[in-house]
Each structure stands twice: as C-alpha cells, then as structure tokens.
Amino acid sequence: MRDKILILGAAGFIGTNLTLRLCREQKKLVLFEQKGAQYQEIVLGSAKAGNIEFAEGAFTEYKSGDWLEQLPCLKEIDTVYHLISTTCPTNSNRNMAVEMEENLIATIRFLDACVSAGIPKVVFLSSGGTVYGKKHTGLCREEEEAFPITVYGMQKLSIEKALYLYRQMYGMDYRIIRLANPYGPYQKPNGIQGAVTTFTWRAIHKEPIQVYGDGSVVRDYIYIDDAIDGIVRIAECQGKHRLYNLGSGRGHSIKEVIEMIAEVLGELPKVRYQAGRPVDVPVNVLDISRFEQDFGKLKAIELKEGICRLVEFYQSL
C-alpha cells in the first residue's frame, strides 16, 4: 500500500517546516538525511506520535540499485519531496564537475530507483532565485528562457529537464517549484544563506551585518509558512502545469530589509559593506500569477510582519 511520503533532506530548514506541516495532517512520513544529521527537537517530539520513520544514507554515493536495497520502503512511497542540494548559490562555482555529480547525477540515479519502485510522483524544490539569471530585471516568468550564472542554478535547471524526460520515458508524475528566498523559524541564523534570518539574528545579538555591494540588490522574500503552504498545494492539487514559481511576488532591496529590522527592533543595526559578488543577480522577483491562477490567491505575509514573527520566535527560545 502506497501511503507514505518521503522527504529527502528532511533535517534542513524547509524539510523541518514541511515535516511539521505534514505531521499536523497526520501523514505517514519517511525522513531521509545523511548520517549524523541533527533534527530539531520539535521534529523528534512529533516522531513520538508514531507516523515518522527515520532513514540515513549517502544520497550522493548511492547507485540506482543501492536505493532499493538501503531503503526498501520506497515501494510504499506515494510522493517524494526532493529538497537535497549539496551547495548553495554563495558557495557554488568552485568545482562544476563535482557539483553536477553530487546533484544532477545523484538525482538521476535516485529517479531510476523511483521508476523501479513504481513511485508515482516526485516534487522537486528548484530555485527561483538562481535559474533565471541576470537577463531578467523585472518579474521572472516560468515560460521565459533561463540563463543561470551559477552551477547551483545550472544543476537545478538540469534536474528540472531530467524530470521532464522521465515523464516522457516512464510516465512519472512530477512537480517543480522554483522557490524564492524563504526565511523564518528553524533556518540557520549563522549560515551562508538567508539574508532576512541572518540579519535579524545578528541585529538581535548586536553583531554587525555583512552586506555585499551597496545594498541595492533586490530579492523576493517569502515567509516559511507561506512557502510550505504553497509547496503542499502544488504537490497535492491538480494544477494545469508542472512548473511553478513560488514567492511573495514583491521585491525588497537589502537596504529595505535592514531598515525593516531596525523598525522592528527599534535600533539601527551595525552594517559592514564589502565588495559585491559575481554570483549575485541584481534583481530577482518572481511572477506568481501562474500559481494564483491554479491554486488561488497567495496571501503572503508582509516582510515586516514576517520579521516580527521571526524576532518573537528567537525571543521565545
């Protein structure tokens, strides 16, 4: 009986929040992570209800046949959420061959295992922030050609094409979500991703904020609750398309983010400006009209309100 959901990369920021959402809906989950990954206490607490199985393995090393041997529950999986990436935009472009091997080739091997196990659907978290590239200075639309400027964006786009091919060859259903910049609870505040979360954390702790460039870079930020709601709606509902942008549909500059944090905290954070980075696209805002046409209006939490919620979360720890 296929009644389980597999989450690849379940201990990460998005994986944690997706797990909590699906737990509330009493879904049966298999959480997959690399050996030694640490889950949030709230996830471990939810596991006591009995609907969660934990699985450890080497996503980047498994061959197609290894998956069925190491994870026999694949034959019970109805839907896979593929959240794994071994790099992010800021540390991409260092070794193209390794990055493609660890992400694109590893995903292809996993998809082969999905075909063998008869898994009906794969939901892939792509990147709305990197696949479009520099040629898009306004709203980025799904039907426009993509020109990524990082290997991270290229491997995401390549996996999208692989999913299309697997549907043509094997009839595998899939959904691709080009996600904007999510922020919120359980994101690493000291990591190399997540400007809103990192800036807010550092401002709370009176630590200087590091900005690359002059602060004019514009991004589309989406609160994690809105992101998870959109992801689940795309995965579970029958939309007209298999590829969707998911963001707030609004852009804010880095300077605006810092100003909002200052308003919420009532204090201007210390800011250190450094030279801009070649991996940073000047403007990236997602057109979410396709999503809203198929699934209804996305009433996204305003950025300032999201920052308020994030501050409240940190203060409750």
What is the enclosing helix (H) or strand (E) of 3? Answer: none
Cα-trace Rg, the chain: 19
DSSP 103: I
Q: At what angle do helices 13-24 and 224-236 cross, to 10 degrees?
A: 60
The tokens describing 79, both together, are 């839907």
Q: Which of these, 221, 279, 267, 268, lies nearest to 246 by C-alpha position?
A: 221
What is the enclosing helix (H) or strand (E) of 178? Answer: strand 173-179
State the pLDDT at residue 137: 64
State the pLDDT at residue 1: 78
Which residues, other chains included, contact 156 with Cβ-Cβ below 8 Å and sequence gap of 6+? 85, 103, 126, 127, 130, 131, 148
Q: How far is CA 252 from the centre of its chain?
A: 19
State the pLDDT at residue 317: 85
Q: List C-alpha distances in Å: 317 to 63, 186, 209, 310.
A: 41, 11, 22, 11
State the pLDDT at residue 62: 96
pLDDT under 70 in the chain at which residues? 137
Spatial separation of the C-alpha atoms in residues 280 and 134, rounded to whole Å: 9
Q: How far is CA 9 from the centre of its chain?
A: 10
Secondary structure class of 259 (helix, strand, coil): helix
Sign (positive/negative) of CA torsion 176, 181, 183, 188? positive
Spatial separation of the C-alpha atoms in residues 92 and 150, rounded to whole Å: 6
Q: Which of these, 222, 243, 282, lies nearest to 13 by C-alpha position?
A: 222
The pTM of the full predicted model, rounded to 2 decimals, is: 0.96
175 exposure class (CB count in 10 Å sphere: 0-12, 13-18, 19+): buried
Q: List C-alpha distances in Å: 199 to 182, 183, 185, 190, 301.
A: 14, 11, 14, 9, 18
Spatial separation of the C-alpha atoms in residues 125 and 108, rounded to whole Å: 15
State the pLDDT at residue 280: 86
Spatial separation of the C-alpha atoms in residues 63 and 43, rounded to whole Å: 29
